[in-house]
Amino acid sequence: MQKTEIAYGLPWLQSKPERAIFLELGFACVYAVGPTGGRPLRISWAKQLRDKLVDLQPGCWKELQVHDVRWTAGDMLAIRLLNEATALLDKAKRRLTGDWFDVTPEFAQQILRFAADKSGIPTFSHAEMLDKVRAARRSRIEAAMKS
């Protein structure tokens, strides 16, 4: 049975082998995070999302919650996706300051989906990222057992 910790509204990888495989796969994400209940939202990118959230939490007046996350195959794609999304938000005059935007969680989700579609960047959900890491681990275990 796999241990799963829930933090910031999402399940996280717990075992050292899973975390090592995650690092090897080089995933990065664009995320929308904010205080429980919504606005404002920080929209940015990260390779180590959980570590980023731990760093952000002390600066927030309420508990942070991830409202959306789109994983990609690497940091270059995540940065492209972020640039596309923030350009759309800037056009709509939704930026407050820095990476903080006056948008609802639902609007942020729509923007991230639209930006991914518009730019042709393949993305996958947090649950799909966990599945990919765990499938890679199972594959490695099976290969080792055949050796």
Rounded to an integer, what distance in angstroms lies between the CA atom of residue 109 and that of residue 115?
10
Is the preceding peptide bond at 40 cis, omega within 30 degrees of 0?
Answer: yes
Cα–Cα distance between 17 and 12 in angstroms, integer?
A: 13
Query: How many angstroms separate the CA atoms of 57 and 90, rounded?
Result: 25
Both tokens of 105, joined, read: 């969680």
% pLDDT > 90, the chain: 71
Cα atoms in the 13 Å half-sphere on the side-chain side of 22: 21
Query: Tens of pLDDT along 14-23?
Result: 789 999 999 9
pLDDT tens digits along 102-127: 999 999 999 999 999 999 999 999 99
**pTM for this structure?**
0.90
Domain boundaries, the chain: 5-139
Statement: residue 135 has pLDDT above 90:
yes
Distances (CA, A) of 19 to 2, 3, 12, 82, 113: 13, 13, 9, 24, 27
Show the tokens assigned to 5.
């910790």
Taking the C-alpha atoms of residue 73 and residue 26, their distance in angstroms, rounded to an integer, is: 7
